[in-house]
Amino acid sequence: MLKPLSRLQQFRHGSPLSFRLLAYILVFSSVFTVFASGLQIYSDFHKDVSAIEERFRVVESGYRSSLSRSLWALDRNLLEVQLEGILSLPDIVHLRLRIDPDSELVMGEQPDRDIATREHSFPIRHSDPQETLLGELTVTASLERTYRELEETIWTTITTQFLKTFLTAILIVWIFQVMVTRHLSHMAQFARRFSLNNLDQPLTLDRSDNQRHRNDELGQVTDAFNQMRERLKDDLERRKRDEEEIRKLSMAVEQSPSSVMICDRQWNIEFVNHKFSQLTGYPAEQVLGQRPGDLALGARAARDSQHLWQTIRIQVQRVGVWQGEVNSVRRNGAHYWEQIVVSPIKDEDGRISHFLIIGEDISIRKRYEQQLLRQANYDVLTGLPNRMLALDRLKLAVAQAQREEGLVGVMFLDLDNFKHINDTMGHDAGDTLLVEASRRVSSCLRGTSTVARLGGDEFLVLLPGLKDEQGAGQVAERILKGFNAPFLLGGQEVFVTTSIGIAIYPLDSDNTSTLLQNADAAMYEAKHNGKSSWERFAPQMKELSHERLQMESRMRRALELDEFELWYQPIIDAATGRVTGAEALLRWNSPVMGLVMPDRFIPLAEETGMIIPIGRWVIEQACAAAKRWEEATGTALNIAVNVSPRQFRDPEFVSSVQQILTACDMPADRVELEITERLLLDSSIEAATILQELDATGIRLSVDDFGTGFSALSYLKSYPFDTLKIDKSFVADVLGADDNSALVRAIINMAHSLSLTVVAEGVEEAAQATFLSAHGCDFLQGYHYSRPIPDADFLAWLRIR
Ligand SMILES: Nc1nc2c(ncn2[C@@H]2O[C@H](COP(=O)(O)O[C@H]3[C@@H](O)[C@H](n4cnc5c(=O)[nH]c(N)nc54)O[C@@H]3COP(=O)(O)O)[C@@H](O)[C@H]2O)c(=O)[nH]1
């Protein structure tokens, strides 16, 4: 807002518009005033002159008759009086009365020559009876007063008009200054100071902000100014935002984890980002101006690259986008996989101006995918095709054989005793065996054949394009031969055999899954027939494998249908011959299959996990039986129970045993758990911890079947065993070769040195009992004393002893 002083200064010094306005007003007002005053003065002058003329007429009309009479009467005095009367009239300064014929009467003074005058003459007649000219009166009026008054009027008018005009002009200019020019100056000053830095400051005028002001021109200009400022501000902000967006985008493009390349319409490279250089090894300056297809090393790669980019160009032009996975070459010649998306960039008119090529290094993903693909299709351990790929290949082979009317051999292989080797020698040895076995099988096959690992120790061999049925048998013979040489497992030479089942398309089935089932059934038959052999499928074999499935489903219901039984075999104190306890042995009394021995169903129970509830039932029943016998005979017998390694994987195992003991009120030291060496070799079981926990409860632990497995006494020291059971195979030969008796003696001595009680099982003859007793064996068990018998029989047996 301007201060009054500065306004004044401005008015004086710096407002050309006000001055010009003032000058214009003065000039135009003066001209107008002069013109108007001239008119006015002329009008007044004309009026004065007219008044003199009028006076002449008044004199003529008023005095004509009286003068006629005076002249007719020649009354000089009267004439003079009358003439004096005329002279007394304003401006009339001279009268000349011509009296006919020759006299005259003059009155008044003739004005100077330089004084303007007016004259009027009129005749004086006497008309009675007839008209007689008596004379003529000439009246002279002086214009001196008129001119004098005219001059005064002119000066007065000019002076007053000028003053008035001047003051009015000043007033107008002041008003104009106050109302307009100072605001214009302020606007000018605002505009001068106006910059991008003070766009927030609106233009305001030094006047009240009301509707009237807002609607006038200044208000409109101010409004327009402020609108312009707002628009400028918006534009600026938008521009800033755009610039920021562009900056961000360009940073994003530059720092993008994807490689970015921009080509012009002719596909010449205009821009590449940092990632591109990083990925390809090409610095930007080396590729700018080139075409993407030119960036390949070597003639073949260059040809492929040109071909690829030609395809890409055509598709982008036709479809609008191209994307795909490309095996590209870095500057150093290394190959890598990249996912490329090529799309056009369009200008505002929708015309293609550039092409955008975004690439992403997918080498790791590709490797991962290939790995996954491999994992999905190949067995990790042996590198052989897995079940899925094998089934695919079987389907392909069958489809091809269908077309060509050929034969396809399907062979099912299962390693004999693999489980035993795995359990006794450890998983590493098992793995080595599988790898070596797969190598031996593969070496017996032609290139078109497939050997696949189906899982565990099961292999599948596909023989497409088989000439005749015998061909499959010949291959099976070759494979069996390949297993003749021993396998080196953990430093030991081990002989492993395999059983092979063969089914042939289309002779045994034209359906792939039936072919597999048939080959499987044939394999079971081969196993059944003594292992290390092969069998060609025959329809009756189906029943055997079916039986196995049936057994599994029946066993699942056997527990709730109370089909299991415990039989007991006494354990005799070798020194006294007294019964000290019994071993509980499981039997399955199936209404369909009859009495099933444990060797037939325990492996299946272990495989299916059914052994956990069954094993729990065995301990419960065995403890309950021991309590019953005690009540019946008064003798507190010990009870030995077999436990499978699979039961140790049950996290509830130890607590469930404790619960059973508590429930039966059975002292822990009267219960012995018989554990095979397999358990100690199974690295998936925390055997030591569980055995310690069991030992802490007071339960006795025994190593069963000693001599058939790892047979190292050293590990016995590491575990809290109480008893060692010499396997019946040693006992059977104890009276035969010296070696065997020496071995049994050594076992007894070493067991005693480790504070272990020794039980010999499989004692069938008295001589065996005598030998064992003589060599310090603590307890004896076998048919010589009693076969395993049902609970009631065992109680009866106890009573008669
Ligand atoms: N996990 C569990 N395993 C069990 C259970 N019950 C038994 N089994 C295991 O089954 C295997 C076979 O047992 P079985 O057919 O009962 O054979 C036992 C005896 O009948 C047999 N035996 C006993 N004395 C003689 C003999 O003088 N001669 C001879 N040829 N055989 C004899 O030995 C078997 C007992 O062996 P062991 O257990 O090693 O003491 C058997 O290996 C059991 O482990 C069960 O409940 N759970």
pLDDT digits (tens, 9 = 90+) for 503-555: 999 999 999 999 999 999 999 888 877 778 999 999 988 876 677 778 888 99
The answer to whether residue 4 is domain-embedded is: no
Is the predicted pLDDT of residue 748 greater than 80, yes or no? yes
Evaluate whether residue 66 is within a structural domain.
yes
Give me the pLDDT at residue 795, please: 96
Q: What distance in Å separates the CA atoms of residue 449 and residue 506, rounded to the nearest whole number?
A: 17
Q: Are residues 397 and 353 in the same domain?
A: no
- Say which CATH number the domain at 297 has: 3.30.450.20
Question: What pLDDT, on a 0 to 100 scale, did the predictor assign at position 13?
Answer: 47
- Last-in-domain residue among 164, 193, 210: 164
Task: Specify whether 725 is located in the same domain as 583.
Answer: yes
- Whether 524 and 564 map to the same domain: the answer is no
CA 685 – CA 173 distance, rounded (Å): 113
> Residues 764-777: pLDDT tens digits?
999 999 999 999 99
435 membership: H or E segment, kind and range: helix 427-443
Find the CATH number of the domain harbouring 61: 3.30.450
Q: Are residues 626 and 587 in the same domain?
A: yes
User: Residue 83 in contact with residue 113, Cβ under 8 Å?
Assistant: no
Residue with tokens 């590990």: 715
pTM over 0.80: no
DSSP 532: S
pLDDT at 126: 85
Residue 383 reports pLDDT greater than 80: yes
**37 lies in a domain?**
yes
pLDDT of residue 176: 82
Q: Look up the ipTM and state it.
A: 0.95
Domain match, 793 and 711 both: yes
Q: What residue's CA is closest to ligand 1, atom 43?
A: 642
- The number of domains in the chain is 4
Do 567 and 490 share a domain, yes or no?
A: no
Mean pLDDT across the chain: 88
Counting from 1 in the atom list of ligand 1, the atom nearest the Cα of 784 is 27
Please report the atom of ligand 1 found closest to the CA of residue 647. 1
The upper half-sphere exposure of residue 406, i.e. CA atoms within 13 Å in the direction of its Cβ, equals 16
* 640 CA → ligand 1 middle, Å: 11
Q: What is the mean pLDDT of residues 268-296?
A: 92
558 Cα to the center of ligand 1, angstroms: 20
The pLDDT, as a whole number, for residue 1 is 39
What is the Å distance from ligand 1's center to 575 Cα?
24
Q: Whose CA is nearest to atom 39 of ligand 1?
A: 705
**Residue 747 and residue 669 in one domain:** yes
Residues with CB under 6 A from ligand 1: 569, 583, 585-586, 597-599, 602, 615, 618, 642-644, 674, 704-705, 725, 728, 761-764, 782-783, 788
Residue 408 lies in a domain: yes
CATH of the domain at 771: 3.20.20.450
For position 535, which CATH number holds?
3.30.70.270
Pocket test for ligand 1, best of 601, 623, 639, 642 (most atoms within 8 A of CB): 642
Q: Do 648 and 758 share a domain, yes or no?
A: yes
Query: Does the structure show a pLDDT above 50 at 81?
Result: yes
Which DSSP symbol is given to 294? G
Domain boundary pick from 510, 539, 568 = 539
Helix (H) or strand (E) holding 602: helix 598-608
Domain that holds residue 391: 378-539
Same structural domain for residues 385 and 469? yes
Q: Can you tell me which atom of ligand 1 is nearest the CA of 640?
A: 40
Using alpha carbons only, give the angle 49, 55, 57 rounded to the nearest 5 degrees: 110
**Which H helix or E strand runs over 465?**
strand 458-466
Q: For residue 240, tell me if it sits in a domain.
A: no
Q: Indicate whether 516 and 650 sit together in one domain.
A: no
**Same-domain check for residues 462 and 610:** no
Separation of alpha carbons 464 and 411, rounded Å:
11
> How far does residue 635's CA lie from ligand 1's centre (Å)?
24
pLDDT of residue 21: 73
Query: How far from 533 is each of 433, 437, 451, CA to CA, in Å?
Result: 19, 15, 18
CA of 585 from ligand 1 middle (Å) equals: 6
Asked if 480 and 579 sit in the same domain, the reply is: no
